[in-house]
Amino acid sequence: MPVRWRLTLVYGSLFFAAALALVLINYFVVSSRLSERLLIRLPPELPSPSGEKRQLFFGVFNKQIDDYHSTVLSSLVQWSLLATVLVGLVALAVGWYVARRALDPLQRVTETARRLSTDTLHRRISMAGPNDEIKDLADTFDSMLERLDNAFDGQRRFVANASHELRTPLAINRALLQVSMSDGAIPESLRPVRDELLASNSRQERLIEGLLTLALSERDLTGKEPGDLADLAEPSLLAHGLALPRRLPAPVVGDGVLLERMIRNLVDNAVAYNDQRAQVTVRTGSAAGHSYVTVENTGREIAPAQAARLFDPFIRLDADRTGSAGGAGLGLSIVRAIARAHGGTAEARPREGGGLLVTIRLPAALPG
């Protein structure tokens, strides 16, 4: 139940309890006063009744007094309860209004937090008003946003600098190795060393590129365009001589470059970790408000617990560190980061008969 409703109910309950207590007190006070016996003195000019007439006179008089007491108490209860209900309804309306005014600052904090992303961390609440607990909360929230904004600015600067400072020297080293150590310029005995240096350089380039892509894909998207996962999967499938068994539309809205990279990582991973059966199947479609792409391959038997850990950086089935020339151990981590950046999910489970089945679900694009 919303806080506004709870506050209104608390205000109304307290009022009705106080009003009911006041009605009971009034009832008992008035009832006690009316129950007091009065000494009736007849005027001297009136003859004093005697005998049966006296008994009849006071019997009628006492009955009228009792009827009067009942009428007064009944009217008191009825009008008091009616006034309590009417004033109580007014109190509920006032409580609803007061609760809204009291919770407006908190609603403002909530709306600011809901609109925040890595590109809107510069926004502040800047709440004015008395130095109460709510203003203290808003100022603390602004201070937290300031620290987050500085942290994300530092991350952006690091990614921008790393893109140039790390990839450029490796590219230069590769070019120098290829030029200075060409086949005609080095002895036959040094050619294996050259090949090993080039392979090591290539591994470092892939690792750095994967880390930069992972850092970029974990940020909120700044530009989104409509697309289809079936179309985005075609380049990756053609690169490995594959095709969709059945082309089903899977409309999405997002960054086309990142989504294509996500599917390429899935297909490359499925091809790289296959067995002699060499079967890779890619499917797309949409269901229950989500568009999906699934990639499954044949391969070794995988435990369900191992499949869930494959999305962690540098996690492999045989070792938790990078150690092969085939990749950097970041392929599925990038896949999950891109899926989450688009509001989707990534799930991996063992395939029956050996291998892995990876499913990516993204929010389906609305028609039009």
Q: Does residue 136 belong to any structural domain of this protein?
A: no
Q: Is residue 30 part of a domain?
A: yes
| CA dist., res. 306 & res. 303, Å (int) | 5
**Of 53, 84, 114, which residue sits at a domain end?**
114
The residue-averaged pLDDT of 187-202 equals 77
Calculate mean pLDDT across residues 6-17: 75
Q: Which domain holds residue 69?
A: 3-114
Does pLDDT of 98 surpass 90? no
> d(Cα 349, Cα 332) in Å, to the nearest integer?
13
Residue 211 lies in a domain: no
The verdict on pTM exceeding 0.85 is no
Whether 227 and 357 map to the same domain: the answer is: yes
What sign does the CA torsion over 230, 232, 238, 242 have?
A: negative
Q: What is the pLDDT of residue 323?
A: 43
Q: 187 or 40, which is more confident? A: 187
Over residues 128-170, the pLDDT tens digits come to 767 777 778 788 888 888 888 788 777 767 766 776 677 777 7
The residues that bridge with 347 in the sheet, in sequence order, are: 359
Q: What are phi and psi of 362, to 5 degrees?
A: -125, 155
Residue 283 has pLDDT above 90, yes or no: yes
Domain boundary among 68, 95, 114: 114
For residue 366, pLDDT beyond 90: no
Residue 187 in any domain: the answer is no
CA distance 209 to 214: 8
Question: In the chain, pLDDT over 90 holds for what percent of residues?
Answer: 12
41, 42, 45, 50: CA torsion to nearest 10:
-120
Q: Is residue 27 part of a domain?
A: yes
Examine residue 34 and state whether it is found in any structural domain, yes or no: yes
- Strands 290-297 and 356-363: what pairing? antiparallel
CATH of the domain at 320: 3.30.565.10
Q: Is residue 314 part of a domain?
A: yes
Q: What is the pLDDT of residues 305-353, one digit of tens each?
A: 888 888 887 666 655 434 444 555 677 888 888 888 888 899 999 988 8
Total domain count, the chain: 2
Is 206 within the bounds of a domain? no
Domain stops at, among 66, 99, 114: 114
